[in-house]
A and B are shown apart, each in its own frame.
Chain A
Amino acid sequence: MLIASATGKPIVARLSPWTLAAWGIAAFVGIPLLAVLASWRDPAVDVWAHLWRTQLAELTMNTLLLVAGVGAGTLTLGAGLGWLVVAYRFPGRALFEWALILPLAVPAYVIGFAFLGLFDFAGPVQSALRQWFGDAARLPELRSGPGVALMMTLVFYPYVYLLARTAFREQGLATLETARSLGRSRLRAFFAVVLPMARPSLVAGASLAMMEALADFGTVSIFGYRTLTEAVYRVWNGMFDRMAATQLASLLLAFALVLLLLERALRGRRRFTQSQRRGPGVDPVPLRGWPAAAASVVCGLVLVLAFVLPIGQLLLWAADVIRSWRLSPDFVAWLGATFLLAGAAAVMICVLGLTVAYARRLHPSPSVRFAAQCSSMGYALPGAVIAVGVLAPIAWLDGVLGVVAEWALGRRLGLLLTGSACAVLFAYAVRFLTIGFQTLDASLGRIPSSFDEAARSLGVSVGGTLRRIHLPLMRGSVLTAFILVWVEVMKELPATLLLRPLGMKTLAIEVWERTSESMWADAAIPALAIVAVGFFPLFLASRLTSDAWRR
C-alpha cells in the first residue's frame, strides 16, 4: 500500500511506532460505534414491530421532552445564577459563587433517589403535609416527565453556570459599559449584548447538560420514566435480545449526533471570540433591600434543593443505618472493587491518552490529528450505546480465543473476556478517553517544543525525552487526569451494569440495586462514598486555576 503525502513522498517512510499506536487506539475506540451501526445488517424486525406498536412513540417523545426540558431548565437556571453572581453584590454572594457548583459532585441518580425518599407519598414531607392539611394534601407527582426534568436540571445546571460565569466575566466591563453608554439599562444591556455574546458558552453548557440527560440511566430508571437509554437496558436484560438492544442503541446514537450537530450550529462561527480578550471584570453592583434579599433567597433555594437537602437526607439515612448496625458487611469489598476497577481504568486511560497526545506532538500529520479526534469522540456516546457496542466485538473475540484455545490446549476455556473485567474496561476506555487525552494534551501543549529539540540534540532518544523531560514536567496533570477519570468511572452506571464481570459489585451498582427496590436508606452510605469521591475534581479545579506555571 502506498499512500502519498502532500509533498508526494510516500508516508510509509515516516511511520513511527507512535503513529501506529495512535491509529490503533482510534480504531479501538471506533469499534463499538461500528458494531452498533453494523447491527442494522440484520434488523430485528419482530422486535421493532413490537416496539412500534407499543412503546416506540412513547420512548421517543419521553426522551425528547426530557432533553428539551433539561436544556431549557439548565439554561435558565445556569445563566440566571451566573449573571446574578457576576453582576450583583448581595448577602452570601461569595459563598454562593463557589457553592453553586457543588451539585456537580453528586451523580444525578443519587440526588434523584434522595428526592424520592424525601418527597414520596410515604416520605417525610408529604406525611407532614397530610398531618397538617388532612389526607387530601398532595404534592405533584415526582415520578413524571416534569419531575425527572426538574431533578436533572437541579443536577446539571452547574455546567451552564460555570461556563456562563466565565463568559460573563471575560467579556468584561468594556462590553457592558459600551452598551450602557449607548443608553441601555443594565438589565436591557444584559439581554441585548451580554447574553448574545455569551451564546457559544451557554450553548456548550446546555448541550453538555442535555447530553448527560440523554445518556442518563440511573435517574430515569429509579423514577420509572421510560426513555431510550432505559429501554436499551430493558430490552437487553428483560428480553435478552442483544440485536434489538443494539438497534435501539443506534437510535439513541442518532439522538446524540443530532444534539452534537445542533450544538455546532447554534454555537455559530464565533467560537473563539471569548477566549482571547480579557478586560477588567464586570464590577458587581450592590443590591439593597428587597432585591438583595430576593437574590440571596433564589441562590439559597437552589443550593438547598440541589445539594443541602439531598445530602442532608443521605446523612440522616446513613446515621440511621449505622445506629441500627445494618451496614452490609460487604461494604468494604464493594469499596475495594470500585477503587480497583476505577483505578485500573484510570491507569489504562492515562496511558492511552498520553500515547495519542504524544503521537500528535511528534507527528502532527492530518492522519494522526484525525486519529486523535476519533479517540476523543466517546464523550458524545451514551454509556448504554457503548456497552452494547462493546459486547459484540468482545463476544466475537471470545469465540476466536475459544477456538484457538481448544486447538492449542485441547480443552474449552469458556468465555474468557466476556466474563472478565475486559469488557467493562474497554467500555470505560471508549467513554472516558476524551478526559484523559484532553487533560494530558493540554499539559503537553504547554511544554515548548524547543525542550524536545534540546533533549534530542543532547543525544537523548524520543522515549528518553518523554521519560526525562515531559513526564516530570507533566506530573501534576497526569495526576489530575487520573483522578478525573477515576471519579467518572466510579459514578458510571449503565455500562458498568451491563458489562460488569459476574458477581462483581461496585458502589454505583449497590446504590442502583437498593434504590430500584425503594430501599433508600440502605443506599445512603454507598451513595455518600461516591459523593465524597466526587469532590476531588472540584477541589482540583479550584486549585489548578490558582496554580501558575513555574519557570
Chain B
Amino acid sequence: MSLVVLSEVTKRFHPDRPPAVDRLSLAIARGEILALLGPSGSGKTTILRLIAGFESPDDGRIMLGGRLVVEAGHERMTAVPPEQRQVGIVFQDYALFPHLTVEANVAFGLHALTRAARGERIREILHLVGLADLGRRYPHELSGGQQQRVALARALAPAPALLLLDEPFSNLDADLRAQMRDEVERVLRSTGTTAIFVTHDQEEAFTIADRVGVLDRGRLEQLGAPETIYHEPATRFVAEFVGAADFLPGIVTSEGIVTEIGTFANVQARAPGERVRVMLRPDDVTFVAGHDGEGIILRRDFRGSETLYRLGLPSGDRVHSSQPSSAAFTVGTRVHLEVPAIHVVTFPAE
C-alpha cells in the first residue's frame, strides 16, 4: 500500500497567477526514494511543504500512511498540524539550531523518549551518519558536509515515516556533493526510509532515486524510472529538461519516419503524413569522416573524457554528437551521420 498519496492537489498563492501546484496526483510506496525534478518555480518545493503541512492545498487531499492529513475545504476537521505528521525534513540551509550542540539538535525531536533511550538513540544515529565523536560541537564549528550529516541525523532520529529533502546538496561543492549523495543514499536504504527529495540536478535525481517525477509549472509531466525519463520522455519539456537533445524535423511514411539523416522506425505508430520532430540525444548520434559526407563540423567543445561536436546539416538544422575524446576531428571536417535507432522518440511538430 502506498505510504503517501496526493490526489488532485492544487495550490495557488495568488488568485491571478497560475497555480504553483496544479491538480497533482502522486503515490509513493513504502521504502521508495522519489526525486522531484524541475526548474525553479516548477512547484517542487511547494509539494514538499504541502506534504509536511506548512501549506494547505486549495484543492485535493493528501494521505500519509493511510490517514487523511488534509483535505481542501475541510481543514478544520482534517488538517493535521506539521508536528503530528511524523515527517522528517532536511532543509536546503540545514536549519540547524545555532544555540544547540549537535547532540541537542538531534535530541530536539526525541521528547517522547526517556532520558536513557534518548541518549542511546542519539549515539546510534550519530554513529550512522559518521559523527559519533562530534556530539558536543556547535553547528558553526562544523564543515558544510558535517552540517549536512547533522541535519540528516536530526531528521531521522525520531524515525519518521517519511523523509523530505529540499535541495539537500545544493550548498555543497562538487566533489563533496557526490560523496554526500552516496552517503545519504546508503543511510536511507539501510534504514528503509521512504524519502522524497527535490532537486533541479538530473544527475542527482538519477543516481539516488527509484523513480523520478519531472515537474513543469506545477504539473507532473512524467513519473517513472530514471532510464525511462531519459530515453522515453513523455513530453517535449521532459526531453529538453532532462539531458541535451536536438529535435530533427521528419515526416511519417509507410516506410517509417523519414528525416534528413535517415529513416527511423515508427514505434509510436504515428499516422502517415504527419509532420513530427525526432529527438536525438548527443550520445545517440555518431559519425565518420568522409569528404562527401552530408554534415559538417561547426564547433567542437572539449569536455574531458568526451568531446561534443555541433554538426551542420544541408537544411541548416543542427545536431549534436558526443564522442570519446580518443579521436579528434577538426572544425570544418565533412562527416557521415549514423544514428543507431535504439530509442526513437518523436513529438508532433508545432
Contacts and interface: CB of A to CB of B under 8 A. Distances in A.
Interface of A: 6-9, 13-14, 448, 450-451, 453-461, 468-469, 472-473, 550-551
Contact of A453 (B14, B89, B140): B89
A453 B109 CA distance: 12
Contacts of A461: 81, 83
15 contacts: A6-B15, A7-B12, A451-B95, A451-B97, A453-B82, A453-B91, A457-B85, A457-B87, A458-B88, A458-B155, A458-B158, A460-B108, A460-B111, A468-B108, A473-B98
A551 B108 CA distance: 18
Contact of A457 (B15, B73, B89, B140): B89
A457 B99 contact: no
Contacts of B93: 448, 450
Nearest to B75: A13
Contact of B81 (A9, A456, A473, A550): A456
Nearest to A447: B98
Interface string B85-114: 111110111010111000000001101100
Interface in B257-297: none
Residue from A459, A460, A473 having most chain B Cβ neighbours under 10 A: A459
Given A458-B83, A459-B111, A551-B139, 5 more contacts: A6-B14, A448-B93, A454-B91, A455-B108, A472-B99
Contacts of A472: 99
Contacts of B58: 7, 9
B76 interface: yes
Given A13-B76, A456-B82, A551 B140 contact: yes
B317 to A, nearest CB: 47
Give me the 5 closest cross-chain CB pairs, A-B, nearest first.
A458-B109, A450-B95, A456-B82, A454-B95, A457-B89
A318 to B, nearest CB: 44
Contacts of B52: 453, 457
Contact of B154 (A6, A458, A469, A473): A458
Contacts of A454: 89, 91, 95, 97, 154
Contact of A551 (B75, B76, B98, B155): B98
B302 interface: no
Given A456-B54, A551-B139, A7 B83 contact: no
Main secondary structure of the interface of B (DSSP, over half): loop
B108 A458 contact: yes
Nearest to B12: A7
Contacts of B87: 457
Nearest to B11: A7
A461 B109 CA distance: 11
Interface string B136-162: 000110000000000000110010000
Contacts of B108: 455, 458, 460, 468
B99 A473 contact: yes
B190 interface: no
B84 interface: yes
A251 B13 CA distance: 44
Interface in B285-322: none
A446 to B, nearest CB: 11
Interface string B44-84: 00000000111000100000000000000101100001111
Contacts of B53: 456
A533 to B, nearest CB: 30
Contacts of B86: 459
A473 B139 CA distance: 14
Contacts of B109: 457-460
Contact of B98 (A450, A455, A468, A550): A550
A81 B139 CA distance: 45
Contacts of A551: 98, 139-140
A472 B108 CA distance: 14
Contacts of A6: 14-15
A348 to B, nearest CB: 26
A472 B100 CA distance: 10
Contacts of A9: 58, 73
Contacts of B140: 550-551
Residue from A448, A451, A456 having most chain B Cβ neighbours under 10 A: A456
Contacts of B83: 456-461
A451 B99 CA distance: 12
B76 A7 contact: no
Contacts of A13: 75-76
B179 to A, nearest CB: 24
Residue from B53, B99, B154 having most chain A Cβ neighbours under 10 A: B99
B333 to A, nearest CB: 52
Contacts of A457: 52, 82-83, 85, 87-89, 109, 155
Contacts of B76: 13
B69 to A, nearest CB: 13
Contacts of B81: 456, 461
A432 to B, nearest CB: 28
Given A13-B75, A453-B54, A454-B89, A459 B97 contact: no
A334 to B, nearest CB: 40
Contacts of A456: 53-54, 81-83
Nearest to B74: A13
Nearest to B56: A14
A472 B97 CA distance: 10
Nearest to B58: A7
Contacts of B99: 472-473
Contacts of B88: 457-458
B84 A459 contact: yes
A454 B166 CA distance: 12
A106 B84 CA distance: 53
A459 B86 CA distance: 7
A469 B75 CA distance: 27
A460 B86 CA distance: 11
Nearest to B79: A13
A453 B94 CA distance: 11
A137 B158 CA distance: 86
A314 B35 CA distance: 73
Interface string B152-184: 001100100000000000000000000000000
A454 to B, nearest CB: 4
A405 B145 CA distance: 66
Contacts of B84: 459
Residue from A456, A458, A550 having most chain B Cβ neighbours under 10 A: A458
Nearest to A456: B82
B15 A453 contact: no
